[in-house]
Amino acid sequence: MEQAAGERPLTVLGIETSCDDTAAAVVRFSADGCVILSNIVWTDHDDHQPYGGVVPEIAARSHVERLDHTVEKALDHAGIMPKDLNAIAATAGPGLVGGVMVGLTTAKAIAMRHDLALIPVNHLEGHALSPRLTETAPFPYLLLLVSGGHTQLVRVDDLGRYVRLGVTIDDAAGEAFDKSAKLLGLGQPGGPHIEAAAKSGNPDRFDFPLPLARHKGCNFSFSGLKTAMREAATALASPTAQDVADLAASFQHAAARHLQAQTEKAMMMLDFPEGDRRLAIAGGVAGNAEIKKMLRELCATNSWALIAPPPKLCTDNGAMIALAGAERLAAGLTPPMQEALAFAPRARWPLAPPTEGRAIGGGRKGPKA
């Protein structure tokens, strides 16, 4: 069943159900790297649209309805039978606990039925390793994780060795995009809608503040930006389509500048030797073209390499969970089977202890690490 690193390739099924995406994927991992054999993501934002955000009960119910089929499809697309797998990895937290429970329980059942190793995975570790799915990203690297539930800068030293350098002190970046989109009457999740509206907007029309500009550390804050956005929007009696586009473009530009400025501070803090200057980005917001452009400029100015996975692998997916499981299996960092089977879903599960700042709660995904 279990294999050591360097032996024949490991084939792992990954299951992700921590928010509103029902996802399953199969990856093959070897000393040469990772091949994604299948990557199925079932996203149905329409279920949550009337409520203006993810409703935990609706998400959990739809995972129950869709997960079996999603797993079957992932195995089918990969041309893999369960007996060909070396292990099953499933998100065990942090996230909406009802959804995590559906994914983890399903993984436990498949593992027991087919006598496979089971690996409970931290969703944040999945995001942290996701650049390694398709890119050359040797350890160490600086990670900017920007999603709907999390915004943090992490030094990724090795598998399982993470140091958090900065974290949001209020909203996550994706949450700020989602709330701003709601304010502008755009759809959910808001990020892609803001990005689309911003294409025909003027980013210089509204002068939004640069948060934490005078603070030394590299924490983030998006609540001031959100307030500035609300004030600008309500000052317009009946906003035209052009007003909405200008507001979206100005907000997006301000958020990108903030992410760029705090990432630059982390780069300076780290002082990596020349050969190790790699910035990897992950999480749904990392798919934003304007944000990527600003980070690419930052990297070019400071002679860092930018590792930017395709947007489909930035948002939640099963492939990153399968990879995290495969890497842990190869390194011998998996719990004994009895422990894995007893593993309880976790709403909170920090990836790394904070070096500064504070952990926060609230937001789209509920309390978070």
- Contact residue for Zn ion among 147, 180, 188, 317 (CB under 5 A): 147
- For position 246 contacting ligand KG4 by CB under 6 A, the verdict is no
Q: Phi and psi for 262 in degrees, rounded to 5?
A: -75, -35
For β-strands 22-30 and 33-42, DSSP reports them as antiparallel
Cβ atoms within 10 A of the Cβ of 15, count?
Answer: 28
Q: Residue 35 is encoded by which pair of tokens?
A: 């091949």
Buried b (16+ CB within 10 A) or exposed e, 43-53: eeeeebeeeeb
Q: Residue 60 is encoded by which pair of tokens?
A: 């959990």
- For position 288 contacting ligand KG4 by CB under 6 A, the verdict is yes
State the nearest-atom distance from the C-beta of 21 to ligand KG4, in Å: 6
- For position 192 contacting ligand KG4 by CB under 6 A, the verdict is yes
For β-strands 22-30 and 87-93, DSSP reports them as unpaired
- For position 315 contacting ligand KG4 by CB under 6 A, the verdict is yes
Q: Is the dihedral of CA 115, 121, 126, 128 positive or negative?
A: negative
From 4-12, 76-84, 278-286, 319-327, give the range in contact with ligand KG4 by CB under 6 A. Answer: 278-286
The binder of 287, among ligand KG4, Zn ion, none, by C-beta within 5 to 8 A per type, is: ligand KG4
Q: Which amino acid is at 101?
A: M
Q: Is the dihedral of CA 132, 135, 141, 142 positive or negative?
A: negative
CA distance 122 to 109: 19
Q: Is the dihedral of CA 240, 244, 245, 250 positive or negative?
A: positive
DSSP symbols for 199-230: TTS-TTSS----TTTT-SS--B--HHHHHHHH
Binding mask 121-160 for ligand KG4 (x = CB under 6 A): --------------------------xxx-----------
State the nearest-atom distance from the C-beta of 170 to Zn ion, in Å: 18
Rounded to whole angstroms, the maximal C-alpha distance in the chain is: 66
The binder of 131, among Zn ion, ligand KG4, none, by C-beta within 5 to 8 A per type, is: none
State the nearest-atom distance from the C-beta of 285 to ligand KG4, in Å: 4
Q: How many angstroms from the chain centroid is the CA of residue 37?
A: 21
- For position 203 contacting ligand KG4 by CB under 6 A, the verdict is no
- For position 189 contacting ligand KG4 by CB under 6 A, the verdict is yes
For β-strands 161-167 and 22-30, DSSP reports them as unpaired
Minimum CB distance to Zn ion smaller for 308 or for 330:
308
Minimum CB distance to Zn ion smaller for 120 or for 201:
120
State the nearest-atom distance from the C-beta of 250 to Zn ion, in Å: 26
State the nearest-atom distance from the C-beta of 157 to Zn ion, in Å: 21
CA distance 181 to 185: 6
- Contact residue for ligand KG4 among 16, 135, 170, 195 (CB under 6 A): 195
From 58-66, 207-215, 228-236, 283-291, give the range in contact with ligand KG4 by CB under 6 A. Answer: 283-291
- For position 316 contacting Zn ion by CB under 5 A, the verdict is yes
- Contact residue for ligand KG4 among 16, 171, 178, 327 (CB under 6 A): 178
State the nearest-atom distance from the C-beta of 22 to ligand KG4, in Å: 12
* Entry field: residues in the chain: 369
The binder of 178, among ligand KG4, Zn ion, none, by C-beta within 5 to 8 A per type, is: ligand KG4
For binding to ligand KG4 (CB under 6 A), which residues are involved?
Answer: 19, 147-149, 174, 177-178, 189-192, 195, 283-285, 287-288, 315-316
For binding to Zn ion (CB under 5 A), which residues are involved?
Answer: 147, 316
